[in-house]
Amino acid sequence: MKDREIFDHRNVANNTHKKINHWLDNSACRPELKAGWVLHITRKGHGHYNCVRTDLEVEAGDIMLFSPDAYLECRRADNSEEWFYSWILFQANELIDRIN
């Protein structure tokens, strides 16, 4: 694998904190094609993912990787007071598309 394939991406990273009875405690649903691969790393609490055929509950230390065409629906798990996770979106650089 060429270094350029990894480093020529526009990466976006942030943290999400969902806490019970807080106005930001909602479900996130991204059913359509996304701009790139998404990596979620649970830092605290428990989260819940609807993966169409299966439901998954994650806890601190768990990592989830979603392809651009994956169905992505997630929320704080019902049995958890909060869910704190970091996420990174790896977006392909338009320059790579023109070179290839």
What's the pLDDT score for residue 93? 66
Would you say 73 and 49 are in contact if contact means Cβ atoms under 8 Å apart? yes
What's the pLDDT score for residue 2? 54
Grouped pLDDT means (10 residues each) for the chain, 100 residues: 57 92 90 86 97 91 92 94 94 57
> What letter does residue 68 receive in the DSSP assignment?
T
Report pTM: 0.78
Q: Phi and psi at residue 4, in whole multiples of 5°?
A: -60, -35
> What letter does residue 34 receive in the DSSP assignment?
-
The sign one gets for the Cα dihedral 56, 60, 64, 70 is positive
What's the pLDDT score for residue 63? 97
The rounded Cα 75 to chain-centroid distance in angstroms is 11
As beta bridge partners, residue 91 has: 10, 36
Which CATH code for domain 3-99? 2.60.120.280
